[in-house]
Amino acid sequence: MIEARQQILASVRRALGRDRTPGDPSVIAQHIAAHGRGPQPRRSQGDHAALVERFIGMASEASATVESVASDAAVPAAVSDFLGRENLPARLVASPALRPLSWDERPLLDIRFGPPEDKDLVALTPSLAGIAETGTLMLVSGADTPSTLAFLPAVHVALLRKRDIVGAYEDGWERMRAAAAEGKPPRSVNFITGPSRTADIEQRLLLGAHGPRRLHIILIDG
């Protein structure tokens, strides 16, 4: 395999006219370090209130549902009420990161913290950020945030703080970089826009392919 590697790189260098003189690594180092952004769409700009409104509009357009609550304290009730409204059993699996919320206010809610199993119908996760330009959630994997929660169960309820809504994808990535050790990404970063879908049957849109068929976003003020 080392031979394959040498040959491929040699072939690339030859094609670039560089078999005699090697390329200059500082060229690519500079480009990378600059983290230069391309044209930023106008819709990814604006004051925070505008971005929040845009996030809600775009997420709804992508068939997610969105509700607002005043604070963390309101979350257990909101989750419980959501399950009731949707006629779903009062049972869910959640990211361990959400353990500190006041779940004892809703003792009838059967909540387990950890990665999902096949039988789990509803999952609850936090989000690192919300991207206004397309109403997209940004989730990161971690010790307390198994990534499979957002994919395996049929219903995904995602918590997002209003203050974590940003305009552009790059803004979200910057936040991840700032929070991560040595700016290195976690094992998995998921950008999620609405529930899962397919148009493989005669180009007709159907929601709920393999990922969740329902995405409900709870926006938290404050």
- Identify the residue among 152, 155, 219, 220 touching other proteins (CB under 8 A): 152
Distance separating alpha carbons of residues 26 and 196, to the nearest angstrom: 42
- Identify the residue among 69, 151, 161, 162 touching other proteins (CB under 8 A): 151
Q: Which is nearer to other proteins, 139 or 219 (CB)?
A: 139
Strand partners, 215: 156
Q: Which is nearer to other proteins, 64 or 218 (CB)?
A: 64
Other C-beta atoms closer than 10 Å to the C-beta of 193 total 17
Binding of other proteins at residue 47 (CB under 8 A)? no
In a 3-state reduction of DSSP, which class is residue 124? strand
Binding of other proteins at residue 9 (CB under 8 A)? yes
User: Nearest 5 degrees, angle CA 132-CA 134-CA 137?
Assistant: 70
Distance separating alpha carbons of residues 114 and 120, to the nearest angstrom: 11
C-alpha pair distances (Å), 28 with each of 20, 62, 173: 19, 37, 20
- Binding span for other proteins by CB under 8 A among 14-22, 74-82, 121-129, 157-165: 14-22
Closest CA to 138 of 179, 192, 197: 192
Smallest distance, other proteins to C-beta of residue 83, A: 22
Which residues within the stretch 201-220 sit at the binding site for other proteins (CB under 8 A)? 201-204, 206, 208-212
Handedness of CA 102, 106, 108, 113 (dihedral sign): negative
Q: Which is nearer to other proteins, 72 or 170 (CB)?
A: 170
Q: Which is nearer to other proteins, 70 or 206 (CB)?
A: 206
Which residues within the stretch 119-148 sit at the binding site for other proteins (CB under 8 A)? 134-136, 141-143, 146-148
Which residues within the stretch 75-104 sit at the binding site for other proteins (CB under 8 A)? 96
C-alpha pair distances (Å), 188 with each of 64, 128, 194, 215: 22, 12, 18, 19
- Binding span for other proteins by CB under 8 A among 22-30, 66-74, 75-83, 157-165: 22-30
Which residues within the stretch 56-75 sit at the binding site for other proteins (CB under 8 A)? 58, 61-62
Which residues within the stretch 164-193 sit at the binding site for other proteins (CB under 8 A)? 168-170, 173, 184-193
Distance separating alpha carbons of residues 158 and 32, to the nearest angstrom: 32
